[in-house]
């Protein structure tokens, strides 16, 4: 058999009852991982296997002794061997059933289940630091355990895709983000577009998921008209807004190759997901600092996108996405602190009369679409107001409590400087001419200070060093011949935020 092949029918445990060599008493020894070979003509014990199980081997011509902890095996010369080179152990058949009833196949799988499905490393340490741990064979290869697969299977990490597009709009990533609060203009979602090469971002608020198809078509047309190129690839998740025949047909008609992540696996669309998280972090930071209402998130998200495109990115060697796309340095002298107060110039036609204040304190909420020199404000009547001229107080936040002028303390302990926030193109001395007419771009005119008798006068903040109080001039009753502000109406929806 040494030069042949023997069939192994199974692996199990054997109870060996023998006489103790020293005391002569009967004892039962348990041998595990015993191979059952029906074709074998003798019962053999591998000396190498016993050494692997930490047995100590000693012997001479009288016999061989195997010792491990409390177990002691004695192999004496075989009487039928005249050369005294075969040693054996004398065993007695086991009759007592209590031994046999307690025997089972104790192997790695059994101990793995007894210890509640631990790793191999845990079982190896348990073998050393516990008593009466059976001798088991640790498999060299990992086997599939149904219990571990059903109860312990983790989600695998997705490695970052190092491949990048070689030209602008070769690959565009898109994602749809929902908000728990309906926005000022009744928006519920925001769709984002992200260019793979330049990292430039565009966002567009939506009132429903069905509008994502229209927004995608508008974005593709904008890319073609403004940049004279066509989008080559489109990467998105498998959400319902992208998983439709109508949406696929709109992209395939333009020859765009569609890439989609697996269902419920947004990690495969990681670049669009990270962009959404970055923009959301910026928007929430600005909202919380300025005490902005939650329903104004559309202004904060649009302003965060505008600033993101003008912020250096490490992946671009600290270049800005605006520079990568348009090959020109972005101008940031129009940026102001989001949510700060501003005294907005009112044209003559927007005032109650010539004696009315020439400006009104409003809340700055971003840059107007289409022209970064125009600003968006929320006036006291909660209407959106667009203006080109304003004096900004970037340390005053009108939406915050009246007893607090600046939410964050000056970390350097110095007095806040006086605001010098005149913007380029501020109006000259007031003249009642037609040049200042219709500067609101279709948004509702603010009410005059005394136009609504029920409205309370705004309380001036407590006096602090370097604090500028808004001017308060009592206005006379407007004569009936003068024009009154137009009634409030819903402002038009915001257009996609493009870089200035």
Digit-coded pLDDT (tens) for 307-331: 999 999 998 999 999 999 999 999 9
Using the 3D structure, point to which of 326, 352, 370 is the last residue of a domain: 326
Among 356, 382, 384, which residue's Cα sits nearest to residue 368?
A: 384
Give the pLDDT mean for 230-250: 83
Does any domain span residue 231?
yes
Confidence of residue 146 (pLDDT cuts 50, 70, 90): confident
Does the structure show a pLDDT above 80 at 207? yes
Parallel, antiparallel, or unpaired for β 233-236 and 257-260?
parallel
- Whole-model pTM: value is 0.58
Q: What whole-number distance in Å separates Cα of residue 37 and Cα of residue 93? A: 20
Both 52 and 81 in one domain: the answer is yes
Both 392 and 489 in one domain: the answer is yes
Give the pLDDT mean for 221-246: 86
Both 429 and 483 in one domain: the answer is yes
Domain interval for residue 383: 331-500
Both 357 and 443 in one domain: the answer is yes
Confidence of residue 150 (pLDDT cuts 50, 70, 90): confident
pLDDT digits (tens, 9 = 90+) for 28-45: 777 777 777 777 777 777
Both 296 and 343 in one domain: the answer is no
Give the pLDDT mean for 146-164: 79
pLDDT digits (tens, 9 = 90+) for 378-400: 998 999 999 999 999 999 999 99
Task: Say how many residues make up the chain.
Answer: 500
* CATH number, domain containing residue 284: 3.30.420.10
195 bridge partner residues: 172
Does the structure show a pLDDT above 70 at 448? no
Both 402 and 427 in one domain: the answer is yes
Q: What whole-number distance in Å separates Cα of residue 199 and Cα of residue 293? A: 30
Q: What whole-number distance in Å separates Cα of residue 382 and Cα of residue 378? A: 6
Both 247 and 309 in one domain: the answer is yes
Rg of the chain, C-alpha, whole Å: 41
Both 294 and 391 in one domain: the answer is no
Both 376 and 482 in one domain: the answer is yes
Please say whether the beta carbons of 40 and 6 come within 8 A: yes
Both 354 and 214 in one domain: the answer is no
The three-point CA angle 452-385-329 to 5° equals: 160
Neighbours of 231 (CB within 10 A): 23
Does any domain span residue 220?
yes
What percent of the chain shows pLDDT beyond 90? 36
Which has the higher per-residue pLDDT, 337 or 494? 337
Give the pLDDT mean for 341-367: 92
Both 488 and 470 in one domain: the answer is yes
Does any domain span residue 189?
yes
Does the structure show a pLDDT above 80 at 74? no
Look at the chain and report how many structural domains it folds into: 3
Using the 3D structure, point to which of 326, 349, 376 is the last residue of a domain: 326
Q: Residue 198 has what pLDDT? A: 94
Confidence of residue 269 (pLDDT cuts 50, 70, 90): confident
Give the pLDDT mean for 132-137: 80
- 205 alpha-carbon distance from chain centroid: 21
Confidence of residue 352 (pLDDT cuts 50, 70, 90): confident
């Amino acid at each position: 058999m040494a030069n042949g092949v023997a069939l192994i029918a199974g692996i199990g445990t054997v109870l060996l009852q023998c006489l103790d060599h020293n005391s002569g008493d009967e004892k039962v020894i348990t041998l595990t991982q015993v191979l059952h070979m029906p074709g074998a003509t003798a019962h053999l014990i591998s000396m190498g296997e016993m050494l692997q199980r930490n047995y100590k081997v000693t012997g001479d011509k009288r016999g061989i002794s195997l010792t491990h902890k409390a177990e002691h095996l004695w192999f004496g010369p075989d009487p039928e061997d005249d050369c005294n080179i075969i040693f054996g152990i004398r065993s007695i058949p086991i009759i007592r059933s209590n031994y046999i009833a307690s025997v089972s196949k104790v192997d790695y799988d059994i101990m793995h289940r007894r210890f509640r499905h631990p790793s191999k490393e845990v079982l190896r340490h348990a073998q050393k630091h516990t008593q009466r741990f059976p001798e088991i064979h640790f498999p060299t290869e990992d086997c599939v355990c149904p219990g571990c697969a059903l109860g312990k299977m983790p989600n695998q990490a997705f490695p970052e895709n190092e491949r990048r597009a070689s030209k602008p709009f070769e690959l565009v990533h898109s994602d749809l983000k929902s908000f728990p609060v309906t926005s000022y203009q009744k928006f519920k979602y925001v769709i984002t577009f992200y260019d793979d090469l330049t990292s430039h971002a565009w966002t567009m608020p939506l009132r429903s998921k069905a509008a994502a198809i229209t927004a995608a078509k508008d974005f593709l047309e904008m890319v073609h008209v403004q940049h004279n190129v066509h989008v080559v690839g489109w990467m998105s998740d498998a959400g319902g807004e992208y998983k439709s025949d109508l949406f696929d047909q709109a992209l395939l008609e333009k020859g765009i190759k569609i890439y989609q992540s697996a269902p419920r696996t947004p990690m495969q669309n990681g670049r669009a997901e990270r962009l959404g998280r970055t923009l959301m972090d910026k928007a929430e930071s600005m909202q919380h600092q300025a005490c902005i209402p939650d329903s104004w998130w559309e202004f904060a998200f649009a302003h965060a996108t505008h600033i993101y495109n003008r912020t250096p990115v490490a992946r671009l060697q600290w270049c800005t996405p605006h520079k990568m796309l348009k090959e020109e340095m972005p101008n940031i002298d129009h940026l102001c602190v989001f949510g700060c107060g501003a005294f907005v110039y009112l044209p003559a036609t927007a005032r109650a009369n010539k004696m009315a204040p020439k400006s009104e304190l409003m809340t700055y909420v971003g840059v107007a679409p289409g022209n970064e020199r125009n600003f968006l404000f929320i006036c006291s009547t909660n209407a959106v107001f667009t203006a080109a001229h304003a004096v900004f107080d970037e340390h005053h936040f009108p939406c915050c409590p009246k007893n607090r002028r600046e939410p964050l303390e000056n970390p350097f302990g110095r007095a806040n400087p006086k605001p010098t926030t005149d913007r380029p193109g501020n109006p000259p001395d007031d003249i009642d001419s037609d040049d200042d007419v219709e500067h609101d771009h279709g948004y509702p005119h603010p009410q005059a200070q005394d136009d609504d008798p029920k409205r309370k006068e705004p309380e001036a903040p407590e006096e602090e060093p370097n604090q500028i109080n808004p001017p308060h001039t009592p206005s006379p009753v407007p004569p009936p011949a003068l024009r009154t502000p137009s009634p409030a109406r819903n402002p038009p929806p915001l257009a996609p935020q493009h870089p200035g």
